[in-house]
Amino acid sequence: MYAIIEDEHLARVPPTLLVENYDKAIEEVTRETLQGTLIDYVPDKNSRADMLKCYVVSILNIKKIDYGIIVHGDGGVYQKIHYKALAFIPKNNEIIEGIVVSVVPKIGAFVRFGPFEGLLHVGQIMDDRIDMDESQNRLVGKDTNRDIRIGDQVRVRIVMLNLASSSVRDRRIGFTMKQPGLGKLQWLEVPAVGSNEPAAKKVTRKKQKPEDSETKVKESVH
């Protein structure tokens, strides 16, 4: 989900910043333009089929490419740059962990992961009839009595991902947690995402009686 990306960008330095340090001005306008926005990113420049939508978290490094360009009638300077950035890249069918930020009767729960929020529809929470407990602001399974409330940590799979708009708000993300290994973390007995440790198994050992030990010793002697 988080990744270091490298790409090129054409930064416009306005006339008001040209009186300052040029390199610092380029850095300032690049951060203002890219940080906190969704961009189209192509990992393989030879194939646009792999184009991804990614959220730029932070600009890490900027390098100028050639000289800036002045356009007639425009007081700014256009500078081509190569930058490195920390980005957040959600992918369809990816398993993520997030926090429930709101619950809505008959609709479901909204889950936040990274800079995004998505809908965990009421029909994708569990194999049970779900009712709304308005007194405690939670969704409750009628038979299992399992509940979902604000602040719960959940493990879900992205089943719908529409990031066509460049705005983080104008996006549609849908989740499910009706598959093995998914659900509210308190329900699960599996390691967290990214852990290489196997799931813990309870092993019940029968206590050996003293007389059994003596019998086995005698048998081995004979």
Same domain, 74 and 135: no
Strands 95-104, 153-162: pairing is antiparallel
- Residue 51 counted as domain residue: yes
Residue ending a domain, among 60, 88, 116, is 88
CATH of the domain at 154: 2.40.50.140
Q: Which of 88, 119, 154 is the last residue of a domain?
A: 88
Q: Give pLDDT, residue 190.
A: 43
Question: Does pLDDT of 194 surpass 80?
Answer: no
Q: How far apart are the first and last CA of the chain?
A: 66
What's the chain's average pLDDT?
A: 85
d(CA 58, CA 30): 10
**Cα–Cα distance, 16 to 169 (Å, whole number):** 31
Res. 165: pLDDT tops 70: no
Closest CA to 90 of 179, 174, 206: 174
User: Is residue 195 one of the residues assigned to a domain?
Assistant: no
Tell me the mean pLDDT in the region 28-34.
Answer: 96
State the Cα–Cα distance between residues 140 and 165, nearest whole angstrom: 34
In tens, the pLDDT along 94-103 reads 999 999 999 9
Of 173, 202, 177, residue with least CA distance to 187: 177
The per-residue pLDDT for range 128-149, each reduced to its tens digit, is: 999 999 889 999 999 989 999 9
pLDDT in tens, 4-26: 999 999 999 999 998 879 999 99
3-state SS class at 217:
helix
Instruction: For residues 105 and 127, state if they share a domain.
Output: yes
Residue 12 within a domain: yes
Domain count, the chain: 2
Q: Which domain holds residue 19?
A: 2-88
Answer whether 120's CB lies under 8 Å from 99's CB: no
Do 170 and 109 share a structural domain? Answer: yes
Give residue 3's pLDDT: 93
Judge if 105 and 155 occupy the same domain: yes
Q: Mark whether 79 and 157 lie in a shared domain.
A: no
Tokens 């369809």 correspond to what residue?
92
